[in-house]
Amino acid sequence: MADRFLSVKQVVDKVCLSKTELYDRISAGTFPRSIPLGPRKVVFLQSQVEAWMHAQVEAAGTAPLARSEKARRAVAARRDRKGTAPQI
């Protein structure tokens, strides 16, 4: 499969980050660097952006499961508080 260029807008839409956050991560070295095509145009390689996305999923590991367990505990705690609160 041939690689494609993605504009900044396409990358922002694809990875659900703001443009500011995107450039902060590029500066920090945690996001693929852009490729300048001209004095005012930069693009990203689709394969690099998708590899970054996959790495984020891999790094999360079981985080979605941990979050859902945490949410269940929070809901149970609210139910417990409601059940023990004095009735007025």
Q: What is the pLDDT of residue 71?
A: 78
Q: What is the pLDDT of residue 45?
A: 97
Q: Which residues contact 51 (CB under 8 A, 6 or more apart)?
A: 32
- Which residues of the chain carry a pLDDT beneath 50? none
Q: What is the pLDDT of residue 87?
A: 53
Distance CA 7, CA 10 (A): 5
For every residue of 48-77, DSSP letters joined together read: HHHHHHHHHHHHHTTHHHHHHHHHHHHHHH
Q: What is the pLDDT of residue 10?
A: 97
Q: What is the pTM of this model?
A: 0.67
